[in-house]
Amino acid sequence: MEAKPPKIKVGTITLAVSLVLLGIGMLLYNFGGIKSPETVWRLWPLLLIGLGVEYFVRRAGRGEREIEFSLPSVILIGIFILAGITVMAVSNALQGLGIGGLIDHISFGDSHSHVKEWQSGPMAVDRGMALDIDNIMGEINLEPSTDGKLHVSARITGRAGSDAEARAVADAARVVIEKGQTTKIYTDSGEEALKNNRISSDLKIQAPPDLKINIENKMGRIASQNISGNLELTSSMGEINVENLRGDLKAYSKMGAINAVNTTGKADLGTEMGRINIQEPGGAVDAVTRMGEIELVSGNPLENDYRLDTTNGRIVFRLPEKSNLTVEAKTNHGRISGMGNGEDPAHNNAEKMVLGGGKGTARLITGNGSIEVVTY
């Protein structure tokens, strides 16, 4: 019996060619021939074209042999296509956040950077005045000043394809302080550096007491310690950490956790995606997230109003039994525990518990997740 000739596998040539072209593209990027790796990933539709062309060419010359797609090759090509689509989707999302050039600076090889340190002199700012801080990329650290004056320091990092270019980018950037009824602080990166996100600026702000401080950071962490005054903090992508605040707090992060520890005033906290952690709140709390866990822990009795609301995520509420509070819990899909409902809450999705005289109200709401109440 005559053996059948081996089948023709379609996809192996397309895979081999795509690997060669991908390697050449990344090599050109590493040596400065291509400004952005995104340019390479934009070519992913060529994989589909190549796969189709290979099929028709090999089908035309198959003779008596059977033809089929090579499953491993098709899977790898599919992974490349998904990677290209993902890179483009992330790029478009970052454009919406104002940091669209971030992908240009993903390091696929050697990168060059230069750091410049900068520090202001002491500046007088009257109590009750407003302070606005705006940053595109980098960390912002806020702490109290020791002399009652405003101090600003910065660590500016420039990135480019060579040491000389990186130094030029960093040297072109400057921290701007505009005085007025509202004192404004921001980094002027220069047009080219700003367009390509070649600058990151880590700011350290030492502020006098009793200011109204507004901070907006598009990408990077915001941290505050031992501040006296009201804070409004916004981050497009990055966590927000606040400790020992004597004042009201309003914090929002599109993508990042929020940690509020030992705040004396009202705390208004919100995230699109990220965990919210509250410890030792001294005032009312309103915490809302679409996707993430919310936990509130207090060693002192609670008697204010508290709303912990998450669309997807569990809620943990820990408080002393001596609290003066009415606790209401509701979940659409999940278990409620610790509210006198026994070990098995059966199918109950709503519970209520009164501590002390029930002066304050705690509303714990989750669409998908468990609710755990712990009293001690």
The per-residue pLDDT for 340 is 72
Segment-wise mean pLDDT, segments of 10 residues, the chain, 376 residues: 66 80 69 57 76 78 72 78 69 48 44 88 90 93 95 91 84 90 88 59 95 94 96 94 98 93 97 94 96 95 97 95 96 88 60 94 94 95
What are the two backbone dihedrals, phi and then psi, of residue 48, each rounded to the nearest 5 degrees?
-65, -40
Structural tokens at position 236? 């497009």
The per-residue pLDDT for 63 is 65
Structural tokens at position 276? 């919210």
- Bridge partners (DSSP) listed for residue 278: 260, 296
The per-residue pLDDT for 100 is 47
The per-residue pLDDT for 110 is 36
What are the two backbone dihedrals, phi and then psi, of residue 60, each rounded to the nearest 5 degrees?
-65, -30
Contact 90, 103 (CB under 8 A): yes
Which amino acid, 63? G
CA nearest 221: which of 193, 199, 253, 194? 253
Label residue 161 exposed, middle or buried (CB < 10 Å: 0-12, 13-18, 19+): middle
**Residue ranges of the domains in the chain?**
8-105, 111-238, 241-376
- Bridge partners (DSSP) listed for residue 111: none
- Distance spanning both ends of the chain, measured CA to CA: 83
Local structure of 287: helix, strand or coil? strand
Q: Between the CA of residue 28 and those of 20, 87, 118, 165, what are the distances in Å?
A: 12, 19, 35, 18
Rounded CA-CA distance 224/215 in Å is 10
Contact 219, 103 (CB under 8 A): no
Q: Are strands 325-333 and 350-355 parallel, antiparallel or unpaired?
A: antiparallel
The per-residue pLDDT for 130 is 94
Q: Between the CA of residue 215 and those of 218, 246, 367, what are the distances in Å?
A: 10, 17, 31
What predicted TM-score, i.e. pTM, was given to this entire model?
Answer: 0.71
Contact 284, 344 (CB under 8 A): no
